[in-house]
C-alpha cells in the first residue's frame, strides 16, 4: 500500500485559543474553522500550517472524541493521518490483509461509502492500541480540501 504521512489530529478544549497560540508561536497559517458532523460525532476543527508541516486541531462537541478529551485532556494526539493515491486500492489491500476498514465511529465501512462530510474519500483502521487511530485519505481530494480550507485566508 502506498502511503504518505499527512498530519496528526490533536484534541483541544478551545479551538480559538489553540489556533491563536500556534499562529503566534510558529507564525502559522490557520485555516477557516470547519465542522464535521455525522453519526453522533460532532467536532469543530482547523488546519495549522507552518512551512511544510501541518496538523489539525480538533474541538469535540459530542461523540466519542468528546469523551476522549474529557478523560485524556487538552493536547491529546489521537490520530495519525496518511494519504494514498488510490483509496479504493488501499481498501482492497486492507480487506485482503483481514482488516475491515471502519467509519469515524468504529462501524464497518462499505467500499461504496468512503465519502466523508469534508468531501474527501476516507477510511479508518480499527483501533488496536487503546485510543490511537490511523486514517487514510485519498491524496488528490485531501490536498484539494486543504487548499479550499485556506482559500479564504489570504
Mean pLDDT computed over every residue of the chain: 92
Distance of CA 113 to the CA centre of its chain: 17
DSSP state of 31: P
DSSP state of 32: P
How many Å apart are CA 48 and CA 44, to the nearest integer? Answer: 13
pLDDT at 154 over 80: no
pLDDT at 75 over 70: yes
| Nearest by Cα to 104 from 143, 152, 66 | 66
- Residue 25 makes CB contacts below 8 A (sequence gap 6+) with none
Count Cα neighbours of 11 within 13 Å in the Cβ-side half-sphere.
23
Between 122 and 116, residue with greater pLDDT = 122
pLDDT at 106 over 90: no
For residues 48-55, give the mean pLDDT: 93
Question: Domain boundaries in the chain?
Answer: 4-151
How many Å apart are CA 120 and CA 139, to the nearest integer? Answer: 9
Between 35 and 39, residue with greater pLDDT = 35
User: If you classify domain 4-151 with CATH, what class do you get?
Assistant: alpha beta
Would you state the pLDDT for residue 49?
96
For residues 83-108, give the mean pLDDT: 94
Chain segment 2-20, per-residue pLDDT in tens: 999 999 999 999 999 999 9
**Global confidence as pTM:** 0.89
pLDDT at 110 over 80: yes
Would you state the pLDDT for residue 146?
92
Amino acid at each position: 500500500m502506498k502511503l504518505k504521512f499527512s498530519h496528526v489530529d490533536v484534541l483541544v478544549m478551545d479551538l480559538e485559543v489553540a489556533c491563536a497560540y500556534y499562529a503566534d508561536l510558529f507564525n502559522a497559517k490557520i485555516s477557516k474553522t470547519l465542522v464535521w458532523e455525522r453519526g453522533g460525532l460532532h467536532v469543530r476543527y482547523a488546519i495549522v500550517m507552518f512551512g511544510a508541516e501541518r496538523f489539525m486541531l480538533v474541538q469535540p462537541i459530542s461523540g466519542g472524541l468528546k469523551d476522549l478529551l474529557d478523560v485524556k485532556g487538552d493536547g491529546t494526539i489521537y490520530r495519525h493521518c496518511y494519504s494514498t493515491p488510490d483509496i479504493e486500492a488501499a481498501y482492497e489491500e486492507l480487506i485482503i490483509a483481514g482488516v475491515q476498514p471502519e467509519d469515524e465511529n468504529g462501524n464497518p465501512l462499505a467500499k461504496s461509502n468512503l465519502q466523508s462530510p469534508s468531501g474527501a474519500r476516507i477510511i479508518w483502521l480499527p483501533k488496536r492500541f487503546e485510543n490511537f487511530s490511523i486514517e487514510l485519505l485519498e491524496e488528490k481530494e485531501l490536498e484539494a480540501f486543504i487548499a479550499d480550507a485556506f482559500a479564504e485566508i489570504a
